[in-house]
Amino acid sequence: MLPPMAERIRSKLATLRPTRLVIEDESGQHVGHPGARPGGESHFRLEIVSPAFAGESRVERQRRVYALLAEELGSGMHALRLKTLTPDEDRKPG
């Protein structure tokens, strides 16, 4: 079972029908930094591969993810590092 914030992220991003979704809590790397919370769940790295991103720029994809996670960003999540790809981009080397 995922921690509560990670589960909320996974649930919200399911609307993008990702073929791959990696959620990593990087909060431990930010202890003592602004926005860090005791117990973590404040800084996340996400890697999302979804056909829903086809035809969108990197900025459009990121805006889409931020919009889906607006509630989480307003209630404890401080930082979000994103990698957003289409399945075709994910298959390309390098």
Where are the chain's structural domains?
Answer: 4-10+31-91
Q: What is the predicted pLDDT for the residue at 43?
A: 81
Q: What is the DSSP code (8-state) at residue 93?
A: -
Q: 45-68 pLDDT, tens per residue?
A: 999 999 999 999 999 999 999 999
The CATH number assigned to the domain with range 4-10+31-91 reads 3.30.300.90
For the chain, percent of residues with pLDDT exceeding 90: 56
Q: What's the pTM?
A: 0.80
Q: Quote helix, strand, coil % in the chain, to nearest 5.
A: 45, 20, 35
In this structure, are residues 41 and 4 in contact, taking their beta carbons and an 8 Å threshold?
yes
Q: Which residues contact 41 (CB under 8 A, 6 or more apart)?
A: 3, 4, 5, 6, 25, 27, 76, 77
Is it the case that residue 94 has pLDDT exceeding 70?
A: no
What SS3 state is found at 32?
coil
Kindly state the average pLDDT of the residues 79-94. 90
